[in-house]
Each structure stands twice: as C-alpha cells, then as structure tokens.
Amino acid sequence: MREELAGADDLGVDAVDVTVPSVSRMYDHYLGGKDNYAVDREAVAALDRKVPGTRALALDNRSFLRRVVHVLTREYGVRQFIDHGSGLPTQDNVHQVAQRVDSGARVVYVDNDPIVLAHGRALLEENARTAVMRADMRDTDAIFDSPEVGRLIDRGEPVALLFVSVMHCLPDSCDPAALVRRVMARVPSGSFIALNQLVSLDAETRDFVTDFMGRSTQGQWGRVREPHEVAGYFAGLDVLDPGLVEITGWRPDSDLCCRHTDDVWFEYGGVARKR
C-alpha cells in the first residue's frame, strides 16, 4: 500500500491520515498483513520494546475467533453473525469459517475504518451472504437498523454478536457493559455474544499500554482492564464452558496447543448465551 495521504483514493474511500497509527492496521501488521503504513509499524515496534509478546497476543486472538465461529456454527447451529470492529480482512475471516460448515451462513462486518470498508467490500463483492458496513460499533441502532443487517440477519433466529479484541478500544465513558446490554436487547433469546479484551494483573503495564496507545492513535483507544471488569460485561448471561478464561484456554483444538503463560497482559473473555 502506498505511503501517502491519497493512498485511499484508489480504493474509493476518504483520504487516510497515515501520520497517525491505526489500531486495525497495527493488528494487520502483527498478523503479517500488508495493509499498513510505516507509522503503524513504528508504533508496533515501540510497543514491543516495552511489552514484548504482543504479536503472539494478536495470533492467539485470531485463533480464538476461528474456534468461536467454528464451535457456534457446528455445535450450536448458529447461521448468522455480526462482527463488531472486524478489522482488515485476513486469512480465515468469519464468513469463511462459518461457510465451511454451512454455505448458507450469513455475516455482517462492522468497522469505522475507511480502509477496512474498502478492502472488505473488495473481498466480499462476490459473496451474497456477507456485507461490510462502516459504522461505530457503539451505535447499536444504526447497525441493527441498517440495510445490511436488514438483508442478511433474520430477527427471529439466534445471532452471534462478536466483540473480539475490541472492548479495550472503548474508554470507560462509553460504558462497554451498557453496550453489551444494548446489543443483547436487540437479539432473540438463544443468541450468543463472544467477547474478549486485553487485561493485565500489573498496574504499571495497564497504565503504560493505555497511555501509549491513547497517545499514539489519537483517541482510538480505551483502557487495558482487569479480568473482573471483563467478567462484569457478562452479567445476566449464561457463560458457555469453560467459562471466562485466558483465550488460548477456550476450547483449544488439542491438548498440544500452545498456551499463553505471560500474566503481564493477556486476552481474556469467553462466549455467553442470552437466556
């Protein structure tokens, strides 16, 4: 991708300010993608110098997403997903995992990054059972009342709501727990939510990463939290086994899978069902 402000023009989207790192593009770089700029790679390098192992967190997170979608599709019969804060397309996107189980599975991707919108539309233009929309994941009414959701999501059937590694992008003033309550109120009983975010047991790490990312991304960040705060998001929901865990421990593909052993910071969460 060209390293210039007009680089988005070829994609038919608004100009992108490549002087400011993007959380989505930093994540893309961690996953080995090519849709990122020098400023994103520099931010990644600076973060890694203080808290090594961040790339492993990104890879663990992507693996968790694949397992969640596969389990919900195969074991629980879910056939429709809304992926909030989906990020840039990469290998094994939600629709690809779900449609390997059932080709009729439907997915709406939601993100507020114009580059995500452009690349998502390019990827999905030949897949009638998917859509990508540009929206703030906090704007529940705009998402659920959108043409994309109206076309693909059957309001009478259970739906899986995905908030995978995005809640740390929301400051406390946005009340992430209230967001969970809003989205769950818009879906029928038997629906699911998959949610995880970065946490740390170490106050210095929480403060450093929160401050670093807040300054680097100019407001695209919220806070690294503690596990008990994430647990609060699941109040009133039935959490699936094995409960809320460090995500490499959520239904691993085998006992030989690598587990995240660094408790300085890690991704924490799980999957729950609406009663």
Average pLDDT over residues 95-112: 96
Distance CA 64, CA 57 (A): 10
Distance CA 255, CA 72 (A): 20
Residue 3 reports pLDDT greater than 90:
no
Average pLDDT over residues 38-47: 90
Residue 255 reports pLDDT greater than 80:
no
Give CA 72 to chain center in angstroms. 16
pLDDT digits (tens, 9 = 90+) for 111-124: 988 888 888 888 77
Sorted by where each starts, the structural domains of the chain and their CATH numbers stand as 5-273 (3.40.50.150)
70 contact partners, CB below 8 Å, separation of at least 6 = 97, 98, 101
pLDDT digits (tens, 9 = 90+) for 219-245: 778 999 999 999 999 999 999 999 999
Residue in 156, 150, 151, 149 with CA at minimum distance from that of residue 188 = 156
- pLDDT value at position 9? 42
Average pLDDT over residues 75-99: 92
Mean pLDDT of the chain: 88
Structure tokens at 171: 């400051």
pLDDT band at 93 (very low <50, low <70, confident <90, very high): very high
Residue in 250, 267, 259, 262 with CA at minimum distance from that of residue 166 = 267
Residue 10 reports pLDDT greater than 70:
no
23 compared with 168, residue with greater pLDDT: 168
78 contact partners, CB below 8 Å, separation of at least 6 = 72, 98, 105, 158, 159, 160, 192
Average pLDDT over residues 129-151: 96
- pLDDT value at position 240? 98
Read off the pTM: 0.87
Residue 6 reports pLDDT greater than 70:
no
Residue 11 reports pLDDT greater than 80:
no
Read out DSSP for 190-229? T-EEEEEEEE-S-HHHHHHHHHHHHHHTTS-----B-HHH
Average pLDDT over residues 8-14: 45
- pLDDT value at position 19? 85
Give CA 2 to chain center in angstroms. 25
pLDDT digits (tens, 9 = 90+) for 57-84: 889 999 999 999 999 999 999 999 999 9
Average pLDDT over residues 190-214: 93
89 contact partners, CB below 8 Å, separation of at least 6 = 116, 119, 120, 123
28 compared with 7, residue with greater pLDDT: 28
- pLDDT value at position 124? 79
Query: What is the residue whose two structure tokens read 């799980």?
Result: 270
- pLDDT value at position 254? 65
